[in-house]
Amino acid sequence: MASRHVINASVSPKGSLETLSQREVQQLSEAGSGSIYALFRQCALAILNTGAHSDNAKTILEAYQDFEVRIHQQDRGVRLELINAPADAFVDGEMIASTREMLFSALRDIVYSESELESLRIDLSTSQGITDYVFHLLRNARTLRPGVEPKMVVCWGGHSISSEEYKYTKKVGHELGLRSLDICTGCGPGVMKGPMKGATIAHAKQRIIGGRYLGLTEPGIIAAEAPNPIVNELVILPDIEKRLEAFVRVGHGVIIFPGGAGTAEEFLYLLGILMHPDNKDLPFPVILTGPRSATPYLEQLHAFISATLGEAAQQHYQIIVDDPAEVARQMAQGLKNVKQFRRERNDAFHFNWLLKIEEGFQRPFDPTHANMASLNLSRDLPPHELAANLRRAFSGIVAGNVKDKGIRLIEQYGPYEIHGDTAVMQPLDRLLQAFVEQHRMKLPGGAPYEPCYRVVT
């Protein structure tokens, strides 16, 4: 990266309420690997790369090894001093407002989740304790707004999709926005950006001020999927499981667009939860959609669900091909049911307390070779438990593909081995191969895909 442009700058939060105590400033200022500082530096660098097109966390981190960020307490609050920062985050020397906002959101979340909450009385060893933790993180980020009707639509799908698929996500976002709905995504490019962009234009047409474009991310993925600049609320959750729980507790419905292993992980997570007997009557609109050209993908995924989790699982979502307005209409209708249900049960609009999430979905899964090999992938399991284990399998594949730690494990020990019933392994193998063929599995840097797993029947 010979032509790397860098800039030194000093930024303050504008109109923000972020204030830090001297103790907190001190904590942040302490440099050193493993510390809060390293975490914040890494997130800051990802945020400053907003809009850049690399999905290779390592590349970015290496390109800006001399990047530094220092935190100062000053008269009007906190000030960040950036050294050797990517120049693209600036316009004529001044930082873009959304980037600045996200920097301070990262600061807020990292200070809060790392420094304070861990010592709260919250008991992370229980399911209720984990949910409380997620609630506190979101509340601290001012994401929970009482008095607002259900209208937060989660959009899941790949960060690297075809131009046609990308345009389709913009159209769906546009139709959602025309119906005054808000967008929540994982906050990177691709499906995480398209719906937000479409909704921005639609909100402008509908003269909606305060449309929400909520991005939920985690430190492990933020570098690979830098927040797109439309995001106007950024929350960094501590890990993938907290992030997934945040999606389903704060979102009122989910749209699944084409994607790869990560999207499959999210879809299985969601189905596993919705199939839990306690959630039987709970309305939660889920729509699988894509443009005409994505029909094979949609069919393959649908078939995989049928083959592994059964037809009952298919009752939890509908498929709509190439019809953005219909997607938005169905979602809007589904949200009305959500509203009605929550009102009847006196559940909060802003946090889905009634949704039962089993501990199995909440506990972080560490994708070691041993853990991957010992996943129980059998059709004898209750479907929601099988879904949980399949979710873990895909989580491991994502890690092996793009996460630092996973990549290193694969380099060292070779591909993961995934064992299970033929009845599960065959469809899994077919799905993964289709992903590869459709170029939905990518490696950082764009090398030809070499699987990080071996499906063993």
Determine, following the binding rule CB under 8 A, whether residue 163 of this chain makes contact with its own copies: no
Instruction: Please state the separation of Cα 246 from the chain's center in Å.
Output: 9
- Minimum Å gap between C-beta 349 and its own copies is 5
Q: Cβ distance 190 to 159 under 8 Å?
A: yes
Q: Cβ distance 315 to 306 under 8 Å?
A: no
- Minimum Å gap between C-beta 155 and its own copies is 17
Determine, following the binding rule CB under 8 A, whether residue 204 of this chain makes contact with its own copies: yes
Residue from 10, 128, 374, 422 binding its own copies (CB under 8 A): 128
Determine, following the binding rule CB under 8 A, whether residue 144 of this chain makes contact with its own copies: yes
Residue from 207, 280, 281, 311 binding its own copies (CB under 8 A): 207
Which residues, other chains included, contact 93 with Cβ-Cβ below 8 Å and sequence gap of 6+? 7, 9
Q: Cβ distance 428 to 418 under 8 Å?
A: yes
From residue 22 to residue 51, what is the string marking binding to its own copies with x (rule CB under 8 A)?
xx----------------------------
Determine, following the binding rule CB under 8 A, whether residue 229 of this chain makes contact with its own copies: yes
Determine, following the binding rule CB under 8 A, whether residue 248 of this chain makes contact with its own copies: no
Residue from 64, 168, 267, 349 binding its own copies (CB under 8 A): 349
Q: Cβ distance 52 to 90 under 8 Å?
A: no
Determine, following the binding rule CB under 8 A, whether residue 295 of this chain makes contact with its own copies: no
Determine, following the binding rule CB under 8 A, whether residue 353 of this chain makes contact with its own copies: yes
Determine, following the binding rule CB under 8 A, whether residue 201 of this chain makes contact with its own copies: yes
Residue with tokens 């000030």: 79
- Give phi and psi for 200, each to the nearest 5: -60, -45
Measured on CA atoms in the order 89, 92, 98, 101, is the torsion positive or negative?
positive
- Minimum Å gap between C-beta 343 and its own copies is 5
Residue from 19, 295, 315, 371 binding its own copies (CB under 8 A): 19
- Minimum Å gap between C-beta 266 and its own copies is 25
- Minimum Å gap between C-beta 317 and its own copies is 22
Residue from 32, 34, 93, 147 binding its own copies (CB under 8 A): 147
Residue from 106, 221, 230, 255 binding its own copies (CB under 8 A): 230
Determine, following the binding rule CB under 8 A, whether residue 116 of this chain makes contact with its own copies: yes
Residue 84 has a CB neighbour count (10 Å cut-off) of: 15
Determine, following the binding rule CB under 8 A, whether residue 405 of this chain makes contact with its own copies: no
Residue from 15, 32, 93, 448 binding its own copies (CB under 8 A): 15
Interacting positions 77-96 with its own copies (CB under 8 A): 77-78, 91-92, 96
Determine, following the binding rule CB under 8 A, whether residue 251 of this chain makes contact with its own copies: no
Residues that bind its own copies (CB under 8 A): 12-19, 21-23, 72-78, 91-92, 96-98, 101, 115-116, 119-121, 128, 132, 135-136, 139, 142, 144-147, 178-179, 197, 200-201, 204-209, 229-230, 232, 329, 332, 339, 342-343, 346-351, 353
